[in-house]
Structure 1
Amino acid sequence: MEKTGTLARLALGIALAGIVLAGLTAPGAAAERHHAKHRAKRSVGSLLVSPGSLFVGGQQLTFSGDLGVSGVRRIHLQKNMGRIGDVWSDVEGFSTTTKPDGSFTFTYPAPSMFNIRMRVVGKGAVTGSWDFDAKSQDLTLSTAKLPGLDDGEVVMNLPFTIAVDTTPTLVGRPDLPPPVIPGRTLTLQQRVDGDTWKTLDTTRTSILGNGAFVQTVGAAGYVTYRVREEDWTKGGDKIGWYPSFPFTVRVVDPLHPNVGRDEAPTAPSRPYKETGSPSSRNGQTAAKAHLWGISLWDFAWTSGESLTSRPYRGTDRRGWWLDSSDGTGRAAQLNGQISLDSGRNFRGDGDVGTTRATMQDNPAAYGRWETAFRIKRFETGAQDYHAVLELVPERASDYRCGTRNITVADIDAGGHSIDIGARSASGTKWTATRKIDIGQRSAAIGIELGKSHITWFVDGRTVGVVNDPKAVSGVPMTLRFSLVGDGEKEMNHTMLFSDWQRSWTLDGGKQVTQGASLQRASYNASC
């Protein structure tokens, strides 16, 4: 009897201890036990990626490991973007098999994005994840400083050297330096106009990733150069070409050394201190909200593509991007996105002119377009850039001074609203300003161009409609991103980012013709 009582008291103590321990368990432990139960049904294997850290997007990586179970199994890759709320999703277009012992070895291009995770999965088995943090491509140009001259000044009729560094270390750029790629072609180009560069010479990178070009200029004035790292496809790599920022030298006439030397800007910029962290968009897009269906083309910038690479996916994978700059800016791919950057330095002078990226060779007279859109301003004190997304006629003969342009979004980099609008070649315009603060966050900006209406969207919400066939030109249109400056005036350093750009026909879902109207007015349509 005593023994029975002792056992009963012991059982009660164990139960009470269990209740106390349960009360002390951290919140969410029950959910964790639930997930652990389900994880127990899947074998967790190992994963090793080489090279593990020093790589750029598109570089061939080797994935090796073990599923933790024997037998030949079909395996594929999954990715997770690493943001709050992101889930694991399959990497499209890739699969292979394990060896009989469950091990695997395969190659796959490195992702371009920062903080992305990948893992290998097979039926009933999964490896641990691997964190990826790609380095960015970049290159800097410089000339030797000559006695009695300022930086960037050279002497007329005397040879000078443009030194190229493809593995720079720069302040504020933890994504640099990239790995050295010896033997990669470098192309020296001279600016002819905003979107035309004349090739002057080529060379190859040294074992240190450097290159050099010797030039001689026979007339005083300013000459602007850039250097392109060309496509690199050796050893299984698929790394797209990448341009330097424009590099301007002043050619000095030794008999008149001070002629043409610029004066200091009258409105110097000063650093801009951000408040808070960038907030992400709500995840909604017009394509999802209105069931636009499968896209014609989709640029995603996932694995080292260049501006002239074709779209990542879609039913009509034609098209590429033409970069343009008449000042200090550069359009290029960066961290899994297309980026327009107003100048090399985040702080100080050196941000002038307009930089653009225009979609080529897949226009449409009617359809739908949507992009991710984000602005980052680094300074105040000077003049703000306008970050602009437009639909413009692709054929030069249809452009007519921009009279057929459709403004999808025009955002003052320091403002809290967007302008939208359209213009007809006959002299009618439709405009509106919406109090939507894009700020530092990412927004989905979209437009639907019907045969007799135009509809604007922000994060899937309709923000404007024009129901007038006169607003629709009927000529083939294409997307254009711009950081619009003011001639030679110093601007606040600004970057425009777009993670993806997509297009659809009008066939999917229902066309949207109801919404807030735009103001109609006349304007002078003559050039």
Structure 2
Amino acid sequence: MSLTSPRSLGSPPSVLRRALVVAALLAAGLHVSPVSGAEPAEPAEPDQPRTPTDAAAVFKWGRADWRDEFEVKGPPRDTWQINKPERAENTKGMLSLESARRGTVKALATDQAARYGRWEARVRARRFSTNRTPYQVVWELVPKRRYKCGSKSIVLADYVPGYGSAAGVVRTRPGNELDFGIDLDLSDDTFHTYAVEVTPDHVSWFVDTVVLHTERRPEALSGTRLQPRFRLQATKGERMDHGRLQVDWVRYHDLDRPNQQSIEAPEMTLSTYDGACPPP
């Protein structure tokens, strides 16, 4: 049986050529305007909704009661207490803490403190060299008063840029420590969002909108007024690699709105700590 040529079907060459071009364009996902005698193109697929990167959007915590988006270029607002002001700047809509060769760089928010609520920040870091000791990146809540050697603090993320895991910790007196670790891509300039919910009866940790742990044991609960703090932690006496910590935004939400998804999750690992002070 012989094959019938396209021309024998009554299609002029120009129409046939257009049909072939249209088919190729549509296959590539491009829009083609209809012409007289041609079938209209299928409507384009609507844009997919943005996937939330914050637990607040997923669990419906509502509008933030306190926030800093770091949109004003230059020095951070004077509500940030920074131990090395020359090492801190708002750049490209982010709080940037730039390390020195020695010493820790810290930024404490002095205009926000609460016993209970939800804190969340989107954070990334970079290690510029690998010849010396790396800095630790720490996003944490520290007591407004009577803070000593990590007691009563809550760490949302503690990691070394380029390494494959981050840790979270809560400490209460007398020497209780509950912690966890999570494998993450922590390569240079990779963002992750870390959050914690603190209530009178539980503490829950979230990473990239997923609840990892919910701890209800009394060893995790201190009722302390907490403040947000970011730091590049140096090792005492060591010459450090050049590092950078950048915060895209940080927010606080109250507990007025209940979680719209379950926060049931495994407990953390209970141990003790010796209360030794970290290096200055």
Pairwise same-fold verdict (TM > 0.5):
yes
Q: Is this contact kept in 1: 2:161–2:186, CA < 8 A?
A: no
Question: 4+ residue stretches of structure 1 with deviation over 4 A?
Answer: 31-35
Q: 1:324 aligns with which of 47, 71, 83?
A: 83
Contact 1:358 1:478 in 2 (8 A): yes
Among all aligned residue pairs of Structure 1 and Structure 2, give the percentage whose two residues are the same amino acid.
Answer: 27
1:291 matches 2:60: yes
Greater gyration radius: 1
Equivalent residue for 2:230? Answer: 481
Question: Do the aligned partners of 2:52 and 2:58 also contact (CA within 8 Å) in 1?
Answer: no
The letter of the residue matching 1:421 is V
Q: Aligned match of 2:158 in 395, 398, 410?
A: 410
1:364-404 CA deviation, whole Å, 9 max, x = no partner?
10000110110111111211110001110123xx2133211
- Asked whether the 8 Å contact 2:74–2:91 carries over to 1, the reply is no
Q: TM-score, normalised by structure 2?
A: 0.81
1:12 paired to 2:9: no
| Deviation by residue 1:340-382 (Cα, 9 ceiling, x = unmatched) | 1113xxxxxxx11100111112201000011011011111121
Residue-by-residue CA offset, 1:190-210 (whole Å, 9 max, x unaligned): xxxxxxxxxxxxxxxxxxxxx
> Residues of 1 paired with 2:84 and 2:64: CA distance?
30
Which residue type is aligned with residue 240 of structure 2?
M
| Deviation, structure 1 residue 474 | 1.3
RMSD: 3.0
> Deviations for 1:10-33, whole angstroms, at most 9, x for unmatched residues?
983442232133245472222688
Q: For the structure 1 residues 12 and 364, does the alpha-carbon distance in structure 2 shift closer, same or farther, using more than 3 Å as the test? A: same
Unaligned runs of 5+ in 1: 1-8, 39-84, 88-281, 310-319, 344-350
Q: Partner of 2:147: helix, strand, or coil?
A: helix
Deviations 1:395-444 (A, max 9, x none): 3xx21332111111110223211111111122211122222232231011
**What does residue 21 of structure 1 align with?**
21
Deviations 1:270-316 (A, max 9, x none): xxxxxxxxxxxx7432112211111112211224364226xxxxxxx
Q: 1:214-233 maps to which residues of 2 (within 5 A)?
A: none
TM (norm. structure 1) is: 0.45
Task: Show CA shifts across 1:443-468 (max 9, x none).
Answer: 11111111121111110112222212
- 1:453 is aligned to 202
1:336 corresponding residue in structure 2: 93
Alignment partners' CA distance in 1, 2:114 and 2:121: 16
Distance in 2 between residues matched to 1:296 and 1:479, nearest whole Å: 14
CA contact (8 A) 2:70 2:76 kept: no
- Which structure 2 residue ranges, 5 or more long, are not aligned? 1-8, 35-39
> What SS does the aligned partner of 1:521 have?
strand
Alpha-carbon distance between aligned partners in 1 of 2:276 and 2:241, rounded to the nearest angstrom: 32
Q: 1:22 to 1:495 in 2, by over 3 A?
A: same
Could you say if the C-alpha distance between residues 291 and 86 of structure 1 is closer, same or farther in structure 2, counting changes exceeding 3 Å? closer
Q: 1:364 to 1:32 in 2, by over 3 A?
A: farther
Cα gap change, 1:303 to 1:32, in 2 (>3 Å)? farther
> Tell me, what secondary structure is at the counterpart of 1:516?
coil
| Aligned residue number for residue 190 of structure 1 | none
Residue type at the aligned position of 1:369: W
- 1:356 is aligned to 106
* Cα distance in 2 for residues equivalent to 1:383 and 1:367: 36
Q: State the SS of the aligned residue for 2:56.
A: helix
Q: 1:521 to 1:25 in 2, by over 3 A?
A: closer
**Separation in 1 of the partners of 2:132 and 2:276?**
32
CA distance in 2, matches of 1:498, 1:367: 20
